[in-house]
Structure 1
């Protein structure tokens, strides 16, 4: 065991407790005790295996980070495209309805003119009719 090292880990455990203050009970956390764990460092082969796992963890973390960044960029692009398309659709629909309003006003003006002519014609007919 001359190439192995001892690793000491100190861990504190917390325990919940209820303390009475006057008429109220208050929950508090108290430090219970300190626990010391002594771990023996493994063999070179074990350390190499652990190092490889740590490298895998690091690579995987990097991949996840890159995927997250890529996904955020993709969603941002899609969001921008969606927004632009919705604005175009809105603009087209508004233009369509404005054209309908214009046509309705033309029809209404034409109807008013026709109504005025008919009213005048009735008036003239009533005036020229024998009594």
Structure 2
């Protein structure tokens, strides 16, 4: 296990060498360069601490991944429930309006029948009044 943890450690640990370069205005600036081949000696205790930190990083990354997946799943379920509820509300409202349309048509037909009866009654009254 120690060889597994020390390998990522070596990949993440970088030695920095400073190098002097001259700028356009003649000033000397120290520039840091990474030396990927150099590995500083690390004590066994430090390697244990570092491996514990790397393990914490892996565990935290796993927790974040699981949280993201559960969040995605939760929102998918919530989205599905929301969609189903909105569709049900729409269907209920359409049925109510269809019922209102039927009632209005029934009322209109009844009014037409009543208007026809009243018109016939007016004609009768008019004929009775005009007959001497």
Shift of 1:63: 0.8
How does the TM-score come out when normalised to structure 1? 0.70
Call closer, same or farther: CA 1:34–1:53 in 2, change over 3 Å.
closer
The 2-side partners of 1:116 and 1:90 are apart by 39
- 2:110 corresponds to which residue? 110
Task: Give the RMSD, CA atoms, in angstroms.
Answer: 2.4
Q: Decide whether aligned partners of structure 1 residues 90 and 64 sit closer, same or farther in structure 2, where only a CA change above 3 A counts.
A: same
Residue 15 of structure 2 contacts residue 40 of structure 2 at CA under 8 Å; is this kept in 1?
no
3-state SS in 1 of match to 2:33: strand
Give the Cα separation in 1 of the matches to 2:51 and 2:14: 19
SS in 2 for 1:40: coil
Q: CA deviation at 1:73?
A: 0.6
Q: Kindly report structure 1 stretches of 4+ aligned residues shifted beyond 4 Å.
A: 7-11
Partner of 1:29: none
Query: How many Å separate the matches in 2 of 1:55 and 1:117?
Result: 92
What is the deviation of 1:9?
Answer: 4.2
Distance in 1 between the 2:84 and 2:127 partners? 64
Greater strand content: 1
Task: Find the counterpart in structure 2 of residue 72 from structure 1.
Answer: 72
Cα distance, 1:10 vs structure 2 = 6.7
Q: What's the TM-score, normalizing by structure 2?
A: 0.70
Give, in angstroms, the shift of residue 41 of structure 1. 3.5
Does the Cα contact within 8 Å between 2:16 and 2:34 map onto a contact in 1?
yes
Pick aligned residue for 1:35 from 33, 36, 47: 33
Q: Which has the higher helix share?
A: 2
> What SS does the aligned partner of 2:86 have?
helix
Is the alpha carbon distance of 1:120 and 1:41 closer, same or farther for their aligned partners in structure 2, counting shifts above 3 Å? farther
